[in-house]
Chains A and B, each alone.
Chain A
Amino acid sequence: SQQGEEDPQALSIQEGENATMNCSYKTSINNLQWYRQNSGRGLVHLILIRSNEREKHSGRLRVTLDTSKKSSSLLITASRAADTASYFCASGLTDSWGKLQFGAGTQVVVTP
C-alpha cells in the first residue's frame, strides 16, 4: 500500500510558472525525499529534507516539511518544458535502508 497521498494528481502549467505539489504521509519518518520520473524510466533523486528541518532549497526547488501535519510540499519555480515528468514523494523510515514508501505521484506537464 502507498505510504502517502499526493495532490494534485496532475498539473498542467506554462513555462515560467511555478508548480506546487503536496504530499502527505502516515507514519513517523526519518526523512522525506522527492524523486522525478520521466515517462516510465527510472527515478531520479531531487532533494531530501530531514525530519528536524522545515525548509530546504536546491536550485529552483523548494521543499517544506510539517511533521505535525505529516505533510510536505515541493515547489518548482520558473518551470521549464524539461520539468515535464512525474514527481514522487518518498518517506524514509528509521533503520529501513533501501525501503522508501512512495506516494502516488503528481504528473506535471509544462507547456512551452
Chain B
Amino acid sequence: DADVTQTPRNRITKTGKRIMLECSQTKGHDRMYWYRQDPGLGLRLIYYSFDVKDINKGEISDGYSVSRQAQAKFSLSLESAIPNQTALYFCATHPGTGGPGYGYTFGSGTRLTVV
C-alpha cells in the first residue's frame, strides 16, 4: 500500500458543486500539505497543517478549505467548484523533524476537471 493515498484519482464535477479530495498517510508524519499543479505554473501551495489543531493558508487558498480530521487525514474541499480549479492536486507529507533535508512524500495525485 502507498504511504500517502489520495482519493479519488480522477474526478469530473460540475460548476457550483462542492467536492472533497481526501488524503491519508501511514508515515506518521505531522505535517501535511495540499498543492495544485497547472501546466507552466508548477506546484502551488493551497493549505498546510503542522498538526491537527494547526491549519495555515498557502499562496492560493481562496475558494478552498481544509480539514485535518486526524494526524493521518487531511481533506481539501472546493466549496463551489469553478472551471479554473481544473488541475492536478497533490497531497504531501513531512515529518517536521528528521532534519531539514528530509524531502516531502507526495501522494499519487487527484486529477480534477470542473465542467
* Chains A and B come from one and the same complex: no
By a beta-carbon cutoff of 8 Å, the part of chain B in contact with chain A is: none
By a beta-carbon cutoff of 8 Å, the part of chain A in contact with chain B is: none
